[in-house]
Amino acid sequence: MNSSIRYALSISLALSLFSGCAVQPAAPQKTVTIDSTLPIPSMNGFIADITSVAFEWKPVSDPRVTGFYVYRNTPGAEDQKLQRIATIDSRFATHYVDSDLKPGSEYQYRFSAITKEGSESVASETTVVATQPMIAPVSFFQSVGNMPRSAKLLWRPHPNGKINGYILERQNATDQKWVEIATITGRLNAEFIDSNLKDGQVYFYRIKATTFDKLSTEPSETTKVITKPLPPEIKNITSTNDLPRAITLTWEPSTLSDLSHYNIYRSSTPNGSFAYHVKLETTSFTDTITEDGKFYFYKITAVDKDGLESPLSSVATQGSTLSKPLTPIAYEGKIVDRAVDLQWKNNDPRSVSYSVIKTTKTSWVSRESIDINNITDTRFHDGDIKPDVDYLYEIVSVDKNGIRSLPTPAIELRYEAK
């Protein structure tokens, strides 16, 4: 075609073919002139992916050409005219990739050559391109529940070679919000353990497959998990208060099928801090104590084979060792014929014998004491005394277990040599 038949079309004609703004932000389009002598881009073909399309065209040798315009429609838009979406600033370019497209959608493209003066060639023929559909979700996804503070998740590795990993999401039964909990790299990975969960709680899980170019499939079907509950509280705890220097505890056996052991906690006050005391596997325990009349409060827990421990008993159980027998009363003593006569009254039916504590003042600052034991009467005669020496006498009662009462007040006796 010679220059005599060259013609220029106004911008209204140009926009009737390629009107609109670029999909990506760009400067406002200038008025262009269609130059029919410019070479029309000759397309070699395209390759469509899920969200992108790659185009190739034959090289352009015309030195007037400085680049190319790319036009495309937008599926679903009210205006289906092709709009300019990109400017390629080199005539030596022969490839272009359009990204961020919708999977499984049909697009129309045209290309034109441009000059530095702003002229544009006649557009290429319309190329219709369909992006590939999105990759199917993971087809098999399940969970293992009743695990201690954790959940095991299993799935079938995705068969599509474009997949390079997975995204796991979790939802609590209470908040109904999906939260991403893990990103797993590697298409062939097929297991994940979610830990640090709450005891006896309900959780929901789903999984998405991800591609090398960071696309995510739709989520899989949802799977439900209930974590292992804590063992039930120990009930019917009893304790003794009549054993010499010991407290025996008994309780109802736990109903756990995987019971490991029991833990006993002890405190000196009912509302105090209960400290761990002992671990055992039986349903009774005797706590050996060195004090008479000593009170302790106890709580017991059950522990399963996964290490989960039941709550502490809601009510503390009080136990005590056998108290001391009561001190003898009406205690009196006197010197009779250079000997000591003592007498008292029993104050406790538990008493089976008595002990006399005899203390001799050997100097102003030193004393010597002896116990005279196994006295079964409520009288005692001591002829082993010396003149001008001070003696102190105290009486304690003793029960059948050998537990001694507190002593009576000391009586001081002395006789003078003549």
Which residue is associated with the tokens 């001694």?
A: 404
Q: Note the pLDDT tens digit of each residue in 91-111.
A: 999 999 999 999 999 999 999
- Across-strand partners of 298? 266, 317
Looking at the structure, do residues 246 and 288 belong to the same domain, yes or no? yes
Q: Indicate whether 418 belongs to any domain.
A: no
Looking at the structure, do residues 63 and 176 belong to the same domain, yes or no? no
Beta strands 351-361 and 367-375 are antiparallel
Q: Percent of the chain scored above 90 by pLDDT?
A: 87
Per-residue model confidence (pLDDT) at position 31: 64
Q: Indicate whether 257 belongs to any domain.
A: yes
Looking at the structure, do residues 245 and 345 belong to the same domain, yes or no? no
Looking at the structure, do residues 65 and 101 belong to the same domain, yes or no? yes
Mean pLDDT (the chain) is: 91
Looking at the structure, do residues 15 and 111 belong to the same domain, yes or no? yes
**Non-local CB neighbours of 117 within 8 Å, separated by 6+ positions:** none
Alpha carbon of residue 167 to chain centroid: 20
Q: Indicate whether 231 belongs to any domain.
A: no
Domain that holds residue 278: 238-320
Nearest to 281 by CA among 253, 248, 308, 313: 253
Looking at the structure, do residues 107 and 145 belong to the same domain, yes or no? no
Looking at the structure, do residues 122 and 18 belong to the same domain, yes or no? yes
Inform me whether the pLDDT recorded for 13 exceeds 70.
no
Edge to edge, the sheet with strand 367-375 lists 367-375, 351-361, 391-399, 411-413
- Statement: the pTM of the whole predicted model exceeds 0.85: no
Output the 3-class SS for the chain: CCHHHCCCCCHHHHHHHHCCCCCCCCCCCCCCEECCCCCCCCEEEEEECCCCEEEEECCCCCCCEEEEEEEECCCCCCCCCCEEEEEECCCCCCEEEECCCCCCCEEEEEEEEEECCCEECCCCCCEEEECCCCCCCCCCEEEEEEECCEEEEEECCCCCCCEEEEEEEEEECCCCCEEEEEEEECCCCCEEEECCCCCCCEEEEEEEEEECCCCECCCCCCEEEECCCCCCCCCCCEECCCECCEEEEECCCCCCCCEEEEEEEEECCCCCCCEEEEEECCCEEEEECCCCCCEEEEEEEEEECCCCECCCCCCCEEEEECCCCCCCEEEEEEEECCEEEEEEECCCCCEEEEEEEEEEECCCCCEEEEEEEEECCCEEEECCCCCCCCEEEEEEEEECCCCECCCCCCEEECCCCC
Distance CA 212, CA 232 (A): 49
Looking at the structure, do residues 259 and 310 belong to the same domain, yes or no? yes
Looking at the structure, do residues 101 and 197 belong to the same domain, yes or no? no
Q: Indicate whether 102 belongs to any domain.
A: yes
Per-residue model confidence (pLDDT) at position 30: 55
Give the residue from 320, 350, 372 where a domain finishes: 320
Looking at the structure, do residues 69 and 12 belong to the same domain, yes or no? yes
**Domain containing residue 16: CATH number:** 2.60.40.10
**Non-local CB neighbours of 333 within 8 Å, separated by 6+ positions:** 340, 341, 342, 343, 393, 411, 413
Inform me whether the pLDDT recorded for 24 exceeds 70.
no
Q: Note the pLDDT tens digit of each residue in 147-196.
A: 999 999 999 999 999 999 999 999 998 888 999 999 999 999 999 999 99
Give the residue from 320, 352, 368 where a domain finishes: 320
Give the tokens for residue 418.
């003549």
Give the residue from 320, 341, 358 where a domain finishes: 320
Q: Note the pLDDT tens digit of each residue in 30-89.
A: 566 899 999 999 999 999 999 999 999 999 999 999 999 999 999 988 888 999 999 999
CA atoms in the 13 A half-sphere facing the CB of 181: 20
Angle at 362 between CA 382 and CA 417, to 5 degrees: 60
Per-residue model confidence (pLDDT) at position 145: 93
| 95 phi/psi in degrees, rounded to 5 | -140, 150
Looking at the structure, do residues 191 and 265 belong to the same domain, yes or no? no
Looking at the structure, do residues 206 and 108 belong to the same domain, yes or no? no
Q: Indicate whether 135 belongs to any domain.
A: no
State the total domains in the chain: 4
Distance CA 174, CA 202 (A): 9
Q: If 0-12 CB within 10 Å is exposed, 13-18 middle and 19+ buried, where does residue 322 land?
A: buried
Q: Indicate whether 168 belongs to any domain.
A: yes
Q: Indicate whether 232 belongs to any domain.
A: no
Give the tokens for residue 123.
């557009």
Distance CA 153, CA 227 (A): 13
Q: Indicate whether 174 belongs to any domain.
A: yes
